[in-house]
A and B are shown apart, each in its own frame.
Chain A
């Protein structure tokens, strides 16, 4: 894991003191809200529906036990005893007081954390594949590059006043687990014919009110040119991105209006014209950063654990957990464990302080002091010995964190929605709760197979509904919550924006509508091996439309 050097520590400490003074001036009336707002946003502090909300950066989703314990401590001391993990791999506290935030930031700084650039029109927290550095299918670890981008983009003077926010994601395996094509810049680590490492670069992806899948601007970017090329993209965007209309200010709109060829030409021209030597990444610097992310010393073991197999044979719950929440590690005899933050009927992404402490203990005891946050609002223990799986499972179960539903229909992404968010137009969480209660984590969910439901409570799409296999968008119509359903979206390497199936559903009928979609899939699939997305791509939207609007009484609009 990356450790702050003296510069990092001094930088973050200075920012805390700067914000402490800004807050003091605000409370004393020396700054108006208009003057103060950009400062608080640059420190991750929003004013939400009920209170302030502090969004804490978790760079590329990586946390150690000390950091987790600090988050739990902050939750108890300054908030309401829980935190909410987000689709940006961050953590949000929903109830902090403005007057306490400088102290919270100082506490975070003591464990090498901050909330810088988790809001505002700047380069946001860089995200990455949550299995980074551990996955069996990995090409290279994306975290060192995410860290290099983080250092480069932190308070970058040229890119602190962009037309709009800017999100970068890095993925390290052929299978995209970081939704890179829904980002302003998506970086896919690849090797060229000569075995050299580099990136395929996507630009202009994004969800929100105008969703676009990112377009490829570079097939192979050598790793040394990472910053120079990112700099070129940002320069073109900063100059040409629209500032007249915040809804048209993202780079995706620039790409759409300018066209892919022209945008690519402009980026390449900027890249060629600009002196790249100053931003070229020296091999020794890449190696230095890489060393922070070295795989912990794992003694290779037999790929099958007798201990696990024995318990699987006699404990059906444990067997289910292993089946859905455990994924192969690059080192034989180890596994990556997904801790589902989607208990049946629970709030997606929420974890209590006690649960966060429990994960800290597990990371320390069984995962070489590493835990991850996934964009799917779950936590990961990336380096667990197979022989320890039963102990990890028992401890997770004791704190309500052993829900065996990772990747299944009840592993639902949901934004906070109208229960917390000032921008929301409808509630998201209650829909997720009712859907998870409907489908559960048992035989039915397993029969349905991999199916991603993603729910947003407004068109800003924090819940990634556009890339959900089943996407649900909550809107308000004539004072009532209404839910629009999209089908066939995908956030992986074959990314797609879901198609709107038809008129929306009421809060009362939306669960039944999803049931109808699922039943239609089950009736049409070629067999259990054909998952929802594959079946949808084969049969198209027509059978679902027919089932929802012609045969079913579910539609009410």
Chain B
């Protein structure tokens, strides 16, 4: 298994991910990937602490998989949540270079999202 832990930041609602240092970061690429249930449980415990500190809301684990050398969410819902609206590529993480990499096509930016 491979999972990451995500939440929304309380003050502004922005989607965040737990990184390896225990910080809640906006960039999907920095999300820590956990390989077993114990690691996910430990990450969710950090999430519960961040909830108690009023830093984030609704932490949960998301299944990810490696595609062409990059991790990306398995479920479409989570892929869209981690990227932004597919109908507005100018909005959300995809517009800020913080979305998952879904394909390794020849797109100049190298972070082309193809959901």
Mask for A387-401, Cβ within 8 A of B = 1, else 0? 000000000000000
Q: Which residues 66-115 of B have a CB within 8 angstroms of A?
A: 74-77, 80-81, 84-88, 91-92
Name the contact of A49 in the complex, choosing from B51, B74, B81 (C-beta under 8 A). Answer: B81
Mask for A276-312, Cβ within 8 A of B = 1, else 0? 0000000000000000000000000000000000000
Q: Say yes or no: B54 contacts A49, CB within 8 Å.
A: no
Q: Which residues 1-51 of B have a CB within 8 angstroms of A?
A: 8, 10-15, 51
The yes or no answer to B57 lying at the interface (CB within 8 A) is yes
Q: Say yes or no: B87 contacts A47, CB within 8 Å.
A: no
- Chain A residues within 8 Å of B85, by CB: 50, 419-420, 429
Q: Say yes or no: A98 contacts B77, CB within 8 Å.
A: no
Q: How far is the CA of A476 from the CA of B78 in the complex (A)?
A: 13
The yes or no answer to A493 lying at the interface (CB within 8 A) is no
- Chain A residues within 8 Å of B86, by CB: 419, 427, 430
Q: Say yes or no: A27 contacts B87, CB within 8 Å.
A: no
Q: Say yes or no: B76 contacts A27, CB within 8 Å.
A: no
Q: How far is the CA of A27 from the CA of B56 in the complex (A)?
A: 10
Q: How far is the CA of A468 from the CA of B104 in the complex (A)?
A: 40
Number of interface residues of B (CB under 8 A): 26
Mask for A7-39, Cβ within 8 A of B = 1, else 0? 000000000000000000011110001000000
Q: How large is the interface on A (under 10, 10 to 19, 20 to 34, 35 or more residues)?
A: 20 to 34
Take A26-B54, A347-B87 as given contacts and tell me if A419 and B80 are in contact as well, using a CB distance cutoff of 8 Å: yes
- Chain B residues within 8 Å of A427, by CB: 80, 86-87
Name the residue on A nearest B81 (C-beta).
A49
A152 to chain B, nearest CB (A): 33
Q: How far is the CA of A47 from the CA of B87 in the complex (A)?
A: 20
- Chain B residues within 8 Å of A481, by CB: 76
Q: How far is the CA of A49 from the CA of B62 in the complex (A)?
A: 14
- Chain B residues within 8 Å of A52, by CB: 12-13
Q: Say yes or no: B54 contacts A479, CB within 8 Å.
A: no
Take A51-B8, A427-B86, A430-B86 as given contacts and tell me if A98 and B13 are in contact as well, using a CB distance cutoff of 8 Å: yes
The yes or no answer to A381 lying at the interface (CB within 8 A) is no
Take A26-B54, A29-B53, A50-B92 as given contacts and tell me if A418 and B80 are in contact as well, using a CB distance cutoff of 8 Å: yes
A429 to chain B, nearest CB (A): 5
Q: Say yes or no: A479 contacts B14, CB within 8 Å.
A: no
The yes or no answer to A80 lying at the interface (CB within 8 A) is yes
Q: Which residues 52-97 of A have a CB within 8 angstroms of B?
A: 52, 80, 95-97
Q: How far is the CA of A49 from the CA of B81 in the complex (A)?
A: 6
B63 to chain A, nearest CB (A): 11
Q: How far is the CA of A427 from the CA of B59 in the complex (A)?
A: 23
Take A50-B85, A50-B92 as given contacts and tell me if A26 and B76 are in contact as well, using a CB distance cutoff of 8 Å: no
- Chain B residues within 8 Å of A274, by CB: none
Take A27-B54, A47-B57, A479-B75 as given contacts and tell me if A419 and B87 are in contact as well, using a CB distance cutoff of 8 Å: yes
Name the contact of A33 in the complex, choosing from B13, B53, B57 (C-beta under 8 A). Answer: B57
- Chain A residues within 8 Å of B75, by CB: 479
- Chain B residues within 8 Å of A33, by CB: 51, 57-58
- Chain A residues within 8 Å of B84, by CB: 50
Q: How far is the CA of A513 from the CA of B8 in the complex (A)?
A: 38
- Chain B residues within 8 Å of A243, by CB: none
B15 to chain A, nearest CB (A): 6
Q: Say yes or no: A51 contacts B13, CB within 8 Å.
A: yes
Q: How far is the CA of A430 from the CA of B86 in the complex (A)?
A: 8
Q: Say yes or no: A47 contacts B11, CB within 8 Å.
A: no
Q: Say yes or no: A47 contacts B13, CB within 8 Å.
A: yes
Q: Say yes or no: A47 contacts B77, CB within 8 Å.
A: no
- Chain B residues within 8 Å of A420, by CB: 85
B46 to chain A, nearest CB (A): 17
Name the residue on B nearest A480 (C-beta).
B76
Name the residue on A nearest B55 (C-beta).
A29
A56 to chain B, nearest CB (A): 17
B113 to chain A, nearest CB (A): 13
B43 to chain A, nearest CB (A): 19
Q: Say yes or no: B54 contacts A29, CB within 8 Å.
A: yes
Take A33-B57, A98-B13 as given contacts and tell me if A47 and B8 are in contact as well, using a CB distance cutoff of 8 Å: yes
The yes or no answer to A538 lying at the interface (CB within 8 A) is no
Q: How far is the CA of A347 from the CA of B80 in the complex (A)?
A: 17
- Chain B residues within 8 Å of A430, by CB: 86-87
- Chain A residues within 8 Å of B51, by CB: 33
Q: Say yes or no: B15 contacts A97, CB within 8 Å.
A: no
Q: Say yes or no: B13 contacts A429, CB within 8 Å.
A: no
Q: How far is the CA of A429 from the CA of B89 in the complex (A)?
A: 13
Q: Say yes or no: B11 contacts A99, CB within 8 Å.
A: yes
B84 to chain A, nearest CB (A): 6
Q: Say yes or no: A80 contacts B54, CB within 8 Å.
A: no
Q: Say yes or no: A51 contacts B14, CB within 8 Å.
A: yes
Which residue among B51, B87, B91 has the maximum number of chain A CB atoms within 10 Å of its CB? B87
B17 to chain A, nearest CB (A): 14
Q: Say yes or no: A80 contacts B87, CB within 8 Å.
A: no
Name the residue on B nearest A45 (C-beta).
B13
B73 to chain A, nearest CB (A): 11
The yes or no answer to A433 lying at the interface (CB within 8 A) is yes
A50-B81, A99-B11 known; 14 new pairs, CB 8 Å cut-off, are: A27-B11, A47-B57, A48-B13, A51-B12, A52-B13, A95-B91, A98-B13, A418-B76, A418-B80, A419-B80, A420-B85, A427-B80, A427-B87, A429-B85
Q: Which 4 A-B pairs have the closest CB atoms?
A: A97-B12, A29-B54, A52-B13, A51-B13
CB<8 Å pairs between A and B, sample of 17: A26-B54, A27-B54, A33-B58, A51-B14, A52-B12, A96-B13, A97-B11, A97-B13, A98-B12, A98-B13, A419-B87, A433-B87, A476-B76, A479-B74, A479-B75, A479-B76, A481-B76
Binding site for B on A (CB under 8 A): 26-29, 33, 47-52, 80, 95-99, 347, 418-420, 424, 427, 429-430, 433, 476, 479, 481
